[in-house]
């Protein structure tokens, strides 16, 4: 009997996948998760951003009788999720303070009548007595707790309201619950399971690899220029996120990009609410907008066609880096994660950790996390291998899609240079920053230097074989290897570690990566049409025509363009050129509802642009 039930669930789930969502196959563990939850089981799902978590609760909610209640932390973004579902012909609604009283009444009425498959609710509203009361009177399919790491007090997205969600298990013990998150580290996982009472839930851990994202980490040199060169050469006209550490900097950088002719806008918690909302909406609703933001921006942003995430400052850990960069390329198309870093960043982050309220154990943990991130920055081997191994995933071969794979890094024997660098720091009582130490080794007769008597040191003038940049690379790499450290209290001064003596004694050989910043190519990078990276060369024009039509429709309806079709769907249209509705329905992302609503319109665009390329 049970087996029969399972097969019918499988068949019905696939049917919804094909007809409603327009997708041909489940991805990864989606099918297993859906079957488990649809059969009434609890689940805890760890999947990277863009992995396809939403289907894992949306399809079971549609398969089971009753309403699937989705807890989602950001009211501002619920609307887009609900709109996207409605576009697919799914009966989805939301209940939150953004609705008028009469709209809320309307939703409640539908709720009682059983006309809703998915109901999106903010956590603070869900746990209100009146809400729980109402839910206890209707048939419930499941509870989905999205962004479940918000329940973790250690995590960076902690939300008080999430703690109260344990009430769901107590009050509705027979309704299946599925908690989902993209945050992977072990302590957070444990905390989620414990706080949400998910001890008996089946845990699904997907591979964390995001093969379509290309990782690049460059040495900070003239960062804003570097950013512009990167955007011009690889992402002209693309939509993306630029992360900065401070609010002020987001505004400066947005201005700089605007002056360079980009459609860039700032976003941070200090902007007034109207401006913030407006900027977020522009980013979501228009093509090609760049948002320059602090980390306040991003959670819950489902925009699938973010083509790049750039970091002008270091994030504080590999988890944070992975989560932030994960916002690129949810649609699976080629995307970039690009970052600049320098030693000053490290000093700033270290002092932020030190000045925080946390206890010593927590501070040590934060320092270790930062060290792991530095290891990623300084590595001469595949970045993806390092990232994935941090999350417990092993990659057998180098990935071929990160900067170190694409442009293998040369190394050089730096044993002597390392000795000199450590020695000069020691001779000056570990009280100075790298820049000053290089001045000593370069033998610069600076007033301050002479005043301190440092021109008398044996190290004075003994390091002219390397340039300033090369020395700063040496210091940075020694710090990331643990042979030196950057003092946190005294801004940026270089200190010895317990390992330094081994270098001075000559017990270790040290090899450094040659810094590619030094060999960076000169001159202006040529602008490249962004679409040409996404579709084959013969289809660029058609792809752009399809996108223009999509934008027009999106504007008319006041919805984000990706709610109509994703780039990946338009790409498939441009490359395969369907000529009738039947062929159109074969395209991934074209479900029944969208076929009926948009099929003819997009066929018409293809027809009009037929001359752009002959069909094969």
- Crossing angle of helices 318-325 and 360-378, in 10° steps, is 60
Q: Per the structure block, which two tokens stand in for 537?
A: 């060369």
CB of 206 to ligand ADP, least distance (A): 9
Q: Per the structure block, which two tokens stand in for 134?
A: 């109402």
Please tell me what DSSP assigns to residue 407. S
70 or 449, CB closer to ligand ADP?
70
Q: Which does 382 bind (CB under 5 to 8 A by kind): ligand ADP, Zn ion, none?
A: Zn ion
CB of 412 to ligand ADP, least distance (A): 41
Phi, psi of 276 (to 5 degrees): -60, -45
CB of 380 to Zn ion, least distance (A): 11
Rounded CA-CA distance 339/215 in Å is 8
Q: Evaluate whether 73 touches 300 at the Cβ level (below 8 Å).
A: yes
45 or 245, CB closer to ligand ADP?
45
Where does this chain bind Zn ion (CB under 5 A)? 382, 384, 398-399, 402, 405
Please measure the distance between the N-terminal and C-terminal CA atoms of the chain and give it in whole angstroms.
49
Q: Which does 566 bind (CB under 5 to 8 A by kind): ligand ADP, Zn ion, none?
A: ligand ADP
CA 440 from centre of chain: 42
CB of 602 to ligand ADP, least distance (A): 18
Q: Which does 471 bind (CB under 5 to 8 A by kind): Zn ion, ligand ADP, none?
A: none
Please tell me what DSSP assigns to residue 236. B
241 or 402, CB closer to Zn ion?
402
23 or 215, CB closer to ligand ADP?
23
25 or 133, CB closer to ligand ADP?
25
494-496/484-486 β-pairing: antiparallel
Q: Which does 305 bind (CB under 5 to 8 A by kind): ligand ADP, Zn ion, none?
A: none
Rounded CA-CA distance 88/559 in Å is 13
Q: Which does 23 bind (CB under 5 to 8 A by kind): Zn ion, ligand ADP, none?
A: ligand ADP
Q: Which does 399 bind (CB under 5 to 8 A by kind): Zn ion, ligand ADP, none?
A: Zn ion
CB of 297 to ligand ADP, least distance (A): 16
Q: Evaluate whether 430 touches 487 at the Cβ level (below 8 Å).
A: yes
Give residues with Cβ within 8 angstroms of 245, minimum separation 6. 294, 312, 313, 314, 345, 348
Q: Which does 441 bind (CB under 5 to 8 A by kind): Zn ion, ligand ADP, none?
A: none
Give residues with Cβ within 8 angstroms of 501, minimum separation 6. none
144 or 434, CB closer to ligand ADP?
144
CB of 401 to Zn ion, least distance (A): 6
Q: Per the structure block, which two tokens stand in for 211?
A: 């093969």
DSSP H helical ranges for 442-558: 447-451, 468-481, 500-505, 540-557
CB of 147 to ligand ADP, least distance (A): 9
57 or 341, CB closer to ligand ADP?
57
- Reference 486, options 348, 331, 383; nearest CA is 348
Rounded CA-CA distance 570/601 in Å is 13
How much is the CA Rg of the chain, to the nearest whole Å?
27
CA 456 from centre of chain: 51
Beta bridge partners of 412: 512
Beta bridge partners of 178: 43, 144
3-state SS class at 346 = helix
96 or 323, CB closer to ligand ADP?
323
Rounded CA-CA distance 373/317 in Å is 6
Where does this chain bind ligand ADP (CB under 6 A)? 23, 25-27, 30, 47, 49-55, 302, 304, 330-331, 566, 588
300 or 398, CB closer to Zn ion?
398
Q: Which does 327 bind (CB under 5 to 8 A by kind): Zn ion, ligand ADP, none?
A: none
Q: Which does 53 bind (CB under 5 to 8 A by kind): Zn ion, ligand ADP, none?
A: ligand ADP
CB of 331 to ligand ADP, least distance (A): 5
Burial class of residue 357 in the structure, from the number of CB atoms within 10 Å of its CB (0-12 exposed, 13-18 middle, 19+ buried): exposed
Rounded CA-CA distance 349/377 in Å is 15
48 or 463, CB closer to ligand ADP?
48
- Reference 63, options 141, 140, 139; nearest CA is 141
Q: Which does 51 bind (CB under 5 to 8 A by kind): Zn ion, ligand ADP, none?
A: ligand ADP
CB of 520 to Zn ion, least distance (A): 20
CB of 84 to ligand ADP, least distance (A): 9
Phi, psi of 203 (to 5 degrees): -100, 130
147 or 251, CB closer to ligand ADP?
147
Q: Which does 573 bind (CB under 5 to 8 A by kind): ligand ADP, Zn ion, none?
A: none
77 or 606, CB closer to ligand ADP?
77
Q: Which does 60 bind (CB under 5 to 8 A by kind): ligand ADP, Zn ion, none?
A: none
Give residues with Cβ within 8 angstroms of 392, minimum separation 6. 184
CB of 389 to Zn ion, least distance (A): 12
CB of 58 to ligand ADP, least distance (A): 8
CA dihedral 544, 545, 546, 547 (to 10 degrees): 50
């Amino acid at each position: 009997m049970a087996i029969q039930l399972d097969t019918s669930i499988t068949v019905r789930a696939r049917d919804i996948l094909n007809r409603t969502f327009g997708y041909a196959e489940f991805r990864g563990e989606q099918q297993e998760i859906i079957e488990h939850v649809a059969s009434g089981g609890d689940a805890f799902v760890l999947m990277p951003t863009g992995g396809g978590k939403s289907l894992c609760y949306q399809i079971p909610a549609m398969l089971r009788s009753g309403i699937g209640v989705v807890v989602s932390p950001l009211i501002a973004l619920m609307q887009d999720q609900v709109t996207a579902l409605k576009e697919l012909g799914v009966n989805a609604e939301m209940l939150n303070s953004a609705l008028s009283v009469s709209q809320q009444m309307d939703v409640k009425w539908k709720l009682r009548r059983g006309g809703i498959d998915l109901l999106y609710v903010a956590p603070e509203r869900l746990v209100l007595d009146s809400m729980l009361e109402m839910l206890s009177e209707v048939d419930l399919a499941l509870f989905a707790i999205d962004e479940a790491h918000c329940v973790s007090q250690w995590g960076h997205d902690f939300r008080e309201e999430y703690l109260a969600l344990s009430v769901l298990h107590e009050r509705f013990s027979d309704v299946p619950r599925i908690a989902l998150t993209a945050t992977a580290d072990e302590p957070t996982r444990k905390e989620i399971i414990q706080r949400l009472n998910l001890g008996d839930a089946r845990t699904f851990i997907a591979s964390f690899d995001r093969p379509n994202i290309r990782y690049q980490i460059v040495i900070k040199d003239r960062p804003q220029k570097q950013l512009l060169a990167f955007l011009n050469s690889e992402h002209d006209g693309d939509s993306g996120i630029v992360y900065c550490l401070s609010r002020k900097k987001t505004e400066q950088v947005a201005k700089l990009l605007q002056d360079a002719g980009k459609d860039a806008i700032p976003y941070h918690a200090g902007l007034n609410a109207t401006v913030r909302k407006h900027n977020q909406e522009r980013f979501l609703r228009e093509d090609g907008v760049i948002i320059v933001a602090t980390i306040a921006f991003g959670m819950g942003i489902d925009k699938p066609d973010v083509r790049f995430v750039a970091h002008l400052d270091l994030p504080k850990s590999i988890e944070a880096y992975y989560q932030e960069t994960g916002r690129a390329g949810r649609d699976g198309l080629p995307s970039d994660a690009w970052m600049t870093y320098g030693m000053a960043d490290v000093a700033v982050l270290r002092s932020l950790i030190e000045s925080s309220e946390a206890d010593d154990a927590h501070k040590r943990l934060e320092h270790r996390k930062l060290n792991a991130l530095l290891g990623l920055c300084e590595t001469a081997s595949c970045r993806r291998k390092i990232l994935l191994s941090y999350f417990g995933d092993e990659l057998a071969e180098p990935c071929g899609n990160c900067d170190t794979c694409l442009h293998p890094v040369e190394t050089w024997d730096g044993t002597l240079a390392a000795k000199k660098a450590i020695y000069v720091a020691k001779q000056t009582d570990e009280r100075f920053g790298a820049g000053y130490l290089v001045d000593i080794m370069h033998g610069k007769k600076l007033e301050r230097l002479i005043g301190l008597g440092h021109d008398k040191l044996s190290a004075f003038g003994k390091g002219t074989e390397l340039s300033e940049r090369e020395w700063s690379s040496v210091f940075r790499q020694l710090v990331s290897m643990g042979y030196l450290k950057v003092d946190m209290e005294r801004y940026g001064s270089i200190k010895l570690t317990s390992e330094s003596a081994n270098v001075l004694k000559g017990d270790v050989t040290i090899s450094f990566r040659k810094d590619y910043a030094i060999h960076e190519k000169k001159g202006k990078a040529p602008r490249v049409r962004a679409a040409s990276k996404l579709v084959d060369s013969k289809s660029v024009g058609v792809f752009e025509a399809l996108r223009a039509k999509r934008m027009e429709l999106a504007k008319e309806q006041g919805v984000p363009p990706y709610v109509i079709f994703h780039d990946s769907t338009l790409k498939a249209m441009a490359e395969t050129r369907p000529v009738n509705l039947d062929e159109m329905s074969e395209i991934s992302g074209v479900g029944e509802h969208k076929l009926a609503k948009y099929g003819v319109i997009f066929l018409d665009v293809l027809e009009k642009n037929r001359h752009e390329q002959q069909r094969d």
